[in-house]
Amino acid sequence: MQIIITALGPDHRGLADPIIHHVTGQGANIAEIQMYDRDEANQFAMMLRIHMEADQYEDLLGAMVEIGALKGLIIRVWSPELRASQPRIAICVTHRPEPATALLRGIREGSVCADPVMLISNRDTCQNLAERFDVPWHSIGDAQGRANDKKMIALLDESNIDYIVLARYMRILPPESCWTFAGGRIINLHHGLLPSFPGLRPYHTAYSANMLIYGATCHFIVPELDAGKQIIYQSTFKVPPGAKLEEVIRIGQQENEPQCLIEGVRRVVSGEAQLHFHRVIARDQ
């Protein structure tokens, strides 16, 4: 059984040792370990990917609670195998409804096997999607659209979310959120081809470079690294010379971005694409 353990808390010595000693003492095989030390924030974070017998999972949960209390850490234990046939996902949106709409429709029609547990947003623009697809809606933004990231984490924990899908969610997740759900649990849709066109206005940047091919990128979010390297799927479209920027954006937003998100999420929830040591690997199904 594959299990991912994340630990986060105030930095001091000896935080990783009891976690590692426990899992190895139970016969677990460590497949990946990542540790982060943000000196400026006095914060420690760790992600551990292990393999151990499924019947040891419940005991592991209890042991991590004890270690967390002893060391002042928030430790989360998660396995992609618990709900492999229908993972629980949270879809995060801001203004653009097309990608989330397409994903919810794909789930309803069976092309993506997942349980859409909630819609989360820092704006109320897409609230009608919750009513349309009968999915609970959670607003985490203030009047200026600033997101309450701690509230988001609490919602995700309370609902046992497996994957977080950022469907044109136009807020940058803080490091704490990325570390909390490290190990390939956060999927982002970027409306440009990475790594060439990052930023908030990739259509405009590509257009100013006289590009005739545009695209979107579905990738994993990882802490403190260039997310452009963790690409799950990219889709492109061509435009004729002289095409207006408005037409490029229309095709991208209404046609290309939705299909890119659907295929990217499908690959992850089906287990075809996983993240290991910040590299996306393909698995035979």
Residue 128: which H helix or E strand, with range?
helix 127-133
List beta partners, residue 231: 219
Residue 226 near residue 263 (C-beta atoms within 8 A): no
Instruction: Give the active site residue among 12, 21, 95, 190.
Output: 190
**How far out from the chain centre does Cα 23 lie?**
26
- Spatial separation of the C-alpha atoms in residues 2 and 275, rounded to whole Å: 12
Angle, CA 166 vertex, CA 160 and CA 168 arms, to 5°: 155
Say whether 93 sits in a helix, a strand or coil.
Answer: strand
Residue among 233, 229, 237 nearest 196 (CA): 229
Residue 238 near residue 212 (C-beta atoms within 8 A): yes
- Spatial separation of the C-alpha atoms in residues 210 and 281, rounded to whole Å: 33
- Spatial separation of the C-alpha atoms in residues 260 and 196, rounded to whole Å: 17
- Spatial separation of the C-alpha atoms in residues 59 and 210, rounded to whole Å: 58
Total H helices, total E strands in the chain: 9, 13
Q: Is 190 tagged catalytic?
A: yes
Say whether 72 sits in a helix, a strand or coil.
Answer: coil
Count of positions (residues) in the chain: 285
**Active site residue ranges:** 190
